[in-house]
Structure 1
Amino acid sequence: MHNTWLRPRLFCRVTTGVRWEEELIPVCSPALLAGTTPEEVLKTGRLVDSSMDRLDWRRWEEYYPGSTGADNAHLTFDTLESAIVAVKCGQGIALVDAVLTRDELLTGQLTRVHAGRIITGGRYTLVYPKRVKRSSVFSEFLDWLEQEVPGHPRNSA
């Protein structure tokens, strides 16, 4: 099966813009902290993973050794969105992207449990056909996106 979007000539017709670099922070539901401390929750709470390989929590332990417990249980999902929903429902602590969960943190739906962070090297990038950049509707979308992710200017290749 030939995938037409992989044709080299198509790549010359698209442009990209890096929106932000992925920065993971540990969060949980405020209810999970009732009667305990963030440190204790990290040591004893369930670690919610947003990928089957549990790479994010392994990285966390490399950067912040001893901050989690040796026997933490894990709840594993295959998407970040599912992990965020589980954590909002009090199912544990997750490492989530700081930009994607900004609103939940500002409204108190999620609480940060440690000042640490992991810069993964991952990037959130917008890829779009060059021809739509001139569209007023698309330009409005880019303006909206810029407002939603302040400090991350439009970049285009």
Structure 2
Amino acid sequence: MIAPRRFLPSINSLLALEAVERLGTATAAAEELSLTHSAVSRQLKVLEEQIGVTMLIREGKGLQLTPAGVTYAQSVRECLQDLARASLKIKANGSRRSVNLAVLPAFAMYWLSPRLRAFTGKHPDILVNQATRIAPFDFNREKFDAAVHYGTGDWMGVNYLPLSKERMIPVCAPDFVDSTPLSAAEMTNLPLLHLESRPGSWESWFSRHGVPADRLGGMLFDQFTNMAEAAAEGIGIALLPEFLAESEVRRGRLVPAYPDYMEVEGTYFLVWPKDREKSEALALFLQFLQAEV
């Protein structure tokens, strides 16, 4: 049920409030919205009267938002952005069905995207929309149908489809050292690159190869692709997943710093909410991925 009309101000009033809060003055808001200063002031006065809360302090010809006005403007901004995204989505999709995915950027780029061409060939009426998320989120708050997740089945309230086990290998630029591959012990004395979401990865790798290595330092990255780029520039050795390492080695930008891959505990999954019925488009996408893996 939609809220009563008194709680649904006009878009023009909300745009005026959001612009004043973001830009700092009614004059700047008026310029951005192609309105006069007095028109912006009138929109804000109407909004105050409708809500019944003081949101503005008038100082001469200037306007200043109260704390309540600032808080409301920030909430309004989120709603306006949601409305804009919904409008863009329907404009882009038209009458076609869609699957909205939250994806891990490197996995989506190097594992998922090469497979999407086959899916869209089978189902040209279904669009697979993607947005990056590098950590689990609440499906009730973010409007995704499914997400790519890396871990060990630790996301509550979702169904899991395993997509790929993780195999890692150290890589570096071709001219980073005189010759490769290196021994594990040799690498402990070289710059190592680290991923924020995989703390302890290098320590685990060295432990599995019988080399003690604690409290390893080095540059920190939030995404594999950025770390791979740094390795290609000769900044250090990166511990990369197979799908990304193979691509960069084929391109000649990186070489294996160690000869073998190591399988790690985590798995890439496609996950979707248990408490929500799958759309036909998502069911077809799941069926396609099950056949792929």
Tell me by how many angstroms 1:28 deviates. 0.6
CA RMSD of aligned residues (A): 3.6
1:46 is matched with 191
Q: Is the 8 A contact 1:52 1:76 kept in 2?
A: no
2:126 is matched with none
- The one-letter code matched in structure 2 to 1:38 is P
1:154 is matched with 292
- The one-character-per-residue Cα deviations of 1:70-117 (angstroms, maximum 9, x if unpaired) are 897511222222211111111110111011232111121111111243
Please give the alpha-carbon distance, in whole angstroms, between the structure 2 residues aligned to 1:71 and 1:122. 22
Q: Is the 8 A contact 1:27 1:94 kept in 2?
A: yes
SS of aligned partner of 1:38: coil
Instruction: Name which one, 1 or 2, has greater alpha-carbon Rg.
Output: 2
Please give the alpha-carbon distance, in whole angstroms, between the structure 1 residues aligned to 2:255 and 2:175. 9
**Matching of residue 58 in structure 1 with residue 203 in structure 2:** yes
Please give the alpha-carbon distance, in whole angstroms, between the structure 2 residues aligned to 1:66 and 1:4. 42
SS of aligned partner of 2:243: coil
Structure with bigger helix share is 2
Distance 1:131 1:32, change over 3 A: same
Q: How does 1:1-157 map to 2 (within 5 A)?
A: 3=138, 5=140, 16-33=160-177, 35-39=178-182, 42-51=187-196, 54-66=199-211, 73-127=217-271, 129-133=278-282, 153-154=291-292
Q: Is the 8 A contact 1:19 1:153 kept in 2?
A: no
Please identify runs of 4+ aligned residues in structure 1 that moved more than 6 A.
none
Distance 1:112 1:18, change over 3 A: same
Please give the alpha-carbon distance, in whole angstroms, between the structure 2 residues aligned to 1:36 and 1:67. 23
Tell me by how many angstroms 1:134 deviates. 6.3
SS of aligned partner of 1:121: strand
SS of aligned partner of 2:168: strand
Q: Which runs of 5+ in 1 are unaligned?
A: 147-151
SS of aligned partner of 1:114: coil
Tell me by how many angstroms 1:126 deviates. 2.8
1:149 is matched with none
Size of the aligned set, in residue pairs, is 134
Q: Which runs of 5+ in 2 are unaligned?
A: 1-137, 147-157, 273-277
Please give the alpha-carbon distance, in whole angstroms, between the structure 2 residues aligned to 1:154 and 1:130. 20
Q: Please report the TM-score for the alignment, with normalisation by the length of structure 2.
A: 0.38
Please give the alpha-carbon distance, in whole angstroms, between the structure 1 residues aligned to 2:212 and 2:257. 11
